[in-house]
């Protein structure tokens, strides 16, 4: 038990809900429109990465250069389609043990926040019925640097009023673990992030977080 922990900051996608397939579908639609090869292997490189940075990774396979304005238009095209796909999300799409873990942490007096690069964070949380559960939300509308920069997690900690060293971060992406460590926080890896060599803790499911935070 790390008894100095006073807050837990959760990444959203891949931790509390999985919208990977929706992102893939939206990026694929954009790539197909542009005649650019795109597959699941490339998609995996986009985990935890900002929209613009993700688009530029996809454009590595393009046969021409794209201007900043064109990149912005591609991002808008992708996001507009992605947002329509989000309308299909429902409360039952929350990942296993998400609601129980959030409740247990709140009941124990632990502050909880979201730290996500997504600008659709509040829409997703609303669809899941979780928007009101968090003490603070830091998302893509609050930041200028995406993970592995720690900005979004530091922003969440500031909104909570908790020092970074008293916060744990739950992440499923390697870039997110790097961001948590760069911010001086306890990095808890789940899913793909368990491969990280710098994570402080590794968990199989969200319920495994409770012994780490509560003892």
13 labelled catalytic: yes
| Region class of 191: left (phi > 0), else alpha (psi between -120 and 50), else beta | left
Task: Please report the beta strands in 4-90, taking only residues with DSSP state E, as ranges in sequence order.
Answer: 7-10
Active-site option among 2, 11, 93, 208: 11
Question: What is the 8-class DSSP label of residue 95?
Answer: P
Among 170, 157, 172, smallest CA distance to 111 is for 157
Task: Name which of 24, 39, 23, 47 is nearest 172 in CA terms.
Answer: 47
Q: From the candidates 13, 139, 142, 149, give the one annotated as an active-site residue.
A: 13
Beta-strand ranges (E) seen in 143-205 are 167-171, 186-190, 201-203
Would you call 87 a catalytic residue per the annotation? no
* C-alpha to C-alpha distance for 203 and 18, rounded to whole angstroms: 17
Active-site residues, by number, are 11, 13
């Amino acid at each position: 038990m790390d008894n100095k922990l006073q807050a837990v900051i959760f990444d959203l996608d891949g931790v509390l809900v999985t919208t990977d397939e929706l992102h893939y579908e939206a990026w694929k639609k954009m790539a197909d429109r542009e005649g650019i090869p795109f597959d699941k292997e490339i998609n995996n490189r986009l985990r935890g990465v900002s929209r613009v940075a993700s688009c530029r990774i996809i454009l590595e396979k393009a046969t021409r250069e794209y201007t900043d304005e064109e990149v912005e238009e591609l991002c808008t095209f992708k996001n507009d389609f992605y947002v329509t796909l989000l309308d299909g999300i429902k409360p039952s799409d929350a990942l296993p043990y998400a609601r129980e873990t959030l409740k247990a942490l709140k009941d124990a007096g632990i502050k909880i926040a979201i730290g996500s690069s997504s600008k659709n964070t509040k829409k997703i949380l609303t669809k899941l019925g979780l928007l009101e559960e968090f003490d603070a939300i830091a998302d893509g509308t609050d930041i200028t640097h995406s993970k592995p920069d720690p900005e979004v997690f530091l922003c969440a900690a500031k909104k909570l009023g908790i020092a970074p060293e008293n916060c744990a971060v739950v992440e499923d992406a390697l870039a997110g673990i790097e961001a948590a460590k760069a911010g001086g926080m306890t990095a808890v890896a789940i899913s793909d992030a368990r491969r990280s060599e710098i994570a402080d803790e590794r968990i199989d499911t969200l319920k495994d977080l409770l012994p780490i935070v509560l003892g």
